[in-house]
Structure 1
Amino acid sequence: MAENTCVRCGAIPPSHDVVSVASADGSFRLLCSRCFNTEMADLAEVHAFEHPEFTPVRLSDADGVVHEFHFRSLLFGDQLSLEAFEPVPGDDDYAGFRFQVLGDPRSDPFELLGNLVQKMKRALAVKHLVEDAGHLVVAETTVRGRIEWDGNERDRLPCVVI
């Protein structure tokens, strides 16, 4: 069985579209986001939930560099999470930019997508780091980032991605 095979439907989605779900017995199983959302809709009694799928979009940053973003939606009971992320070739799926918005799972998912894209455009228009004498320094007084791990399977040390 392939590494990213959904145990419910048998699909082999890209690694960014797989969710590791804990079961009551303490075991874990891999589900594609569609199957995860179907199970969550049943548990949360969200009737007639339709799993939204969106085409990747390309947006330019403050330097004019174009970034391609893929989307994933996850239903968390009374909230729908819509995530945009930039896969980086040769790296893990979350090494690039990441954005997220939460909304009502009963609302129009395209409205949520519009809110997310506006958030992405605002964030990409800001430069947080600039080069000064060969070193990266904070451009203004605000820096946005996220806490990840360093990629070393053995140590799993935290690091900040700006």
Structure 2
Amino acid sequence: MTEQTCFRCGARTPPYDIVNAASSDGTYRLLCSGCFNEDMAQWADIVGFEHPQFTPVRLLDADGDSHEFHFRSLLLGDQISLEAFELAGNDESEGYRFQILDESQSDPFVLLGKLVQKMMRALSVKHLHEDASGLQVAGTMVRGRIEWDGVEDGRLPCVVIDGKRVEWNDFGAILMAFEGWQFRLELLDPSDEA
């Protein structure tokens, strides 16, 4: 994982904690989340905003497998976003990812508690299982995240289910077990409860 340099403070920062932020002159700068939040607090006239930083945590999923989550907070004007994500090598389209939004003046530790509860609920359920014929839907509902397939000019997404990347064609093959069934597709903002 190649670290990048924050334009403002010069800190070497992992790519998951960098924001490509527009400036008033129309140029873009790479900022660490702390510098981005300072700029946003100044722009939104928020006095006394402190950039929260949290130590990574490990949580177990329904199979007892451990997942390490890193956190990033971003001030978005009158709201704050707290994100938790797994690092899956250099591929940002893998691993679990969670987000919660609240008012900018919210207590960051209360938000962290809410986010960890959301994460634990999601990790307690498996939507796919593998048998001799390959990946299968564990029940009749699948929750996941839509991601870019990584192919330049690609027109098909991939999905991330149970923290694992599943190519679109493979997902279609999984769904063939339900040929003739009806389905409901509901798209939710990452901060909503899935």
TM-score (norm 1): 0.91
The equivalent residue for 2:130 is: 131
Unaligned regions of 5+ residues in structure 1, if any? none
Alpha carbons of structure 1 residues 94 and 160: separation in structure 2 relative to 1, 3 Å? closer
* Count of residues in Structure 1 that have an aligned counterpart in Structure 2: 159
1:121 aligns with 2:151: no
TM-align CA RMSD: 1.6
Residue pair 1:86, 1:94 contacting (<8 A) in 2 also? no
Matching residue's letter, 1:78? D
1:155 aligns with 2:158: no
Identity %, equivalent residues: 65
The equivalent residue for 1:142 is: 141
The equivalent residue for 1:11 is: 11
Specify the structure having the higher radius of gyration (Cα).
2
Q: Distance in 2 between matches of 1:17 and 1:156?
A: 26
1:38 aligns with 2:38: yes
Give the superposition deviation at 1:94.
Answer: 4.7
Alpha carbons of structure 1 residues 48 and 66: separation in structure 2 relative to 1, 3 Å? same
Matching residue's letter, 1:135? G
Q: Distance in 1 between matches of 2:58 and 2:93?
A: 16
Matching residue's letter, 1:119? K
Tell me, what secondary structure is at the counterpart of 1:16? Answer: helix
Q: Output one character per residue of 1:105-137: Cα deviation in whole Å (capped at 9) or x when no partner.
A: 212100000000000000000001112432212
Q: Output one character per residue of 1:24-64: Cα deviation in whole Å (capped at 9) or x when no partner.
A: 44321100000000000111111100000000000000000
TM-score (norm 2): 0.77
Q: Distance in 1 between matches of 2:42 and 2:111?
A: 22
Q: Distance in 2 between matches of 1:33 and 1:105?
A: 15
Give the superposition deviation at 1:141.
Answer: 2.5
Give the superposition deviation at 1:142.
Answer: 2.2
Alpha carbons of structure 1 residues 125 and 36: separation in structure 2 relative to 1, 3 Å? same
- Matches for 1:65-76 after TM superposition, within 5 Å: 65-76=65-76
